[in-house]
Amino acid sequence: MTASTPLIPVTKTRSRTPVCARAVAFIVAATSLVLFSVGSSPAQRKAATPAGEEEASPFKDYRGVQLGMTADEVRKKLGSPKDKGDEQDFYVFGENESAQIVYDSGHKVITISADFLSTEASVPTCKQVLGSEAEAKADGSVYKMVRFPKAGYWLSYNRTAGASPMTSITLQKIQ
C-alpha cells in the first residue's frame, strides 16, 4: 500500500466522510459518558453534585431547542437536518459544530447532544453549561455530569485533551 492509497474506500456517490467522522466522534464521546456514569454509584454521583444544582442548570436549551419539543418544532428552529429520521436528526453548523437530536416514540426530544471541534471562544465552558468548573485531568481533558432530578434531566460536559479538543455537551431526559 502506498502513502497515497486511502484506508477507507472512496465511492463516486455523495461523500459522507465529514458526517462519519463526526458520528464516530459522537459515539466515542457517548461511550465515554456511559462508562463514566455506569462506573460511579448513585451515592458517589450525589456526593459529587454541588449543593443547589439539583434544581436546574444554566444550560436548558441548545440553539432554542429544549427537551420535550416536537420534531417539527426542532426543524422550525434549526432548519433542515443533514440526516433526518423518525428517531433522530443530525445537524451540521459549519466545520466545527454539529448536533444530534434524539426523539422518543412520540417524536418529542429526549436527548440533545452538541459537539464542538474547536478551541474558539464560542465553545461553551463547563461553568457556562453546568454553573461550576470541573477539574481537568492530568492530560487536560475535562468530564463532569450532573443530574437534575427535579427538572427531569441530566447534563454532561466532556472535553477531550490535545491541541484540537472536541467538546461534547449532552442534555438528556431522565427516564
Domain that holds residue 38: 17-173
Residue 97 lies inside a defined structural domain of this protein: yes
Domain count along the chain: 1
Residue 61 lies inside a defined structural domain of this protein: yes
Annotate 6-42 with DSSP letters as a single string.
-SSPPPSS---HHHHHHHHHHHHHHHHHHHHHHHS-H
Mean pLDDT calculated for residue range 58-86: 95
Residue 129 lies inside a defined structural domain of this protein: yes
Residue 39 lies inside a defined structural domain of this protein: yes
Residue 1 lies inside a defined structural domain of this protein: no
pLDDT digits (tens, 9 = 90+) for 6-33: 454 444 444 444 544 444 444 444 444 4
pLDDT digits (tens, 9 = 90+) for 121-160: 789 999 999 989 999 999 999 999 999 999 999 999 999 9
